[in-house]
Structure 1
Amino acid sequence: MTPAECAVAAARGAVGARFRSHGRDPAFGLDCVGLAVLAARAAGFAAPISADYAIRGGDPSTAIDAVGLVRTSAPATGDLLLFAAGPAQFHLAVQVPGGIIHADAMLRRVVERPGVPPWPLVAAWRLTGD
């Protein structure tokens, strides 16, 4: 499998996991960072954001750039997406064919959302692996 296919498979494997703030294990719950970490590790990367991340009030782009992910202006399947979900609030997701997979705090679980996401895209990274 390609790194992108591995990332998508990992994200899809987490669909249905409960939402848990700062969650890093699908068995106990994930937040959007936990889902991004799961997908990135499956694609062969270290965690894209450290444990001391600030998804609210701080742009996590620098932390993601630091692990060597390559930014892309044309997101594709398996890419890691960063959205502006609200004022000073960011949200991570994994692009899949026809939509995204993300940890939805309102639905309290990881879901696959079809169609165009409702938030503005801030940045995207290709999970190309080494």
Structure 2
Amino acid sequence: MSAGERVAAAARGIVGARFRLQGRDPATGLDCVGVVAVALKAGGHEGPIPSGYDLRCGDAARYRSCWAGLAPADGERPGDVLLCVAGPRQLHLAVRTSAGFVHADAGLRRVVERPEALPWPLLMAWRLASGRLGES
């Protein structure tokens, strides 16, 4: 199983976890950053994760610096980390799967997998390279 496949499988494994802003543990709740952090850890990434943000942070540079150990990607492969523009000054993270994408849905109050295309514009995407970070 590739690193990306491990990331996607881990994301799918937390579908159903409840939503909690700033949440980092599937047992107590996750936000979109928590979903990505849990999935990336399963893929072997041990880098920092964004902290100290709110729902309307809109600061893409913070995400770029935190995911610096990942390779830029097109967002099409399972396991790709997707940074989307969900609204004015509102950024949102998701993980690409073979069926669609997994994300923390604040409206539904849980982590879900959506089988359709992203409903938001894609701003950036990253991925774990097979075996080592930072390789594409």
Tell me the TM-score normalized by structure 2: 0.86
1:48–1:100 distance in 2 versus 1, CA, 3 Å: farther
The residue number in structure 1 matching 2:43 is 43
| Matched-pair contact (CA < 8 Å) for 1:8–1:77 | yes
The residue number in structure 2 matching 1:17 is 17
- Cα distance in 1 for partners of 2:52, 2:23 equals 13
The residue number in structure 1 matching 2:65 is 63
What code does the residue aligned with 1:43 have?
Answer: G
1:46–1:87 distance in 2 versus 1, CA, 3 Å: same
Number of residue equivalences: 129
- Please give the secondary structure, in 2, of the residue aligned with 1:77: coil
| Matched-pair contact (CA < 8 Å) for 1:75–1:126 | no
1:72–1:81 distance in 2 versus 1, CA, 3 Å: same
Structure 1 unmatched ranges of 5 or more: none
Deviation at 1:81, TM superposition (A): 0.4
- Cα distance in 2 for partners of 1:122, 1:82 equals 6
What code does the residue aligned with 2:29 have?
Answer: G
- Cα distance in 1 for partners of 2:122, 2:45 equals 22
Q: Any residues of structure 2 matched to 1:1-130 within 5 Å, and which?
A: 1-47=1-47, 49-53=49-53, 56-59=57-60, 60-66=62-68, 68-73=69-74, 75-128=76-129, 129-130=131-132
Structure 2 unmatched ranges of 5 or more: none
Give the percent of matched residue pairs that are identical in Structure 1 and Structure 2: 53
Q: Deviations over 1:16-71 (max 9, x none)?
A: 000000000000000000001011111111245233346623113322342x1000
Tell me the TM-score normalized by structure 1: 0.90
- Please give the secondary structure, in 1, of the residue aligned with 2:20: coil
- Cα distance in 2 for partners of 1:100, 1:13 equals 12
Deviation at 1:6, TM superposition (A): 1.0
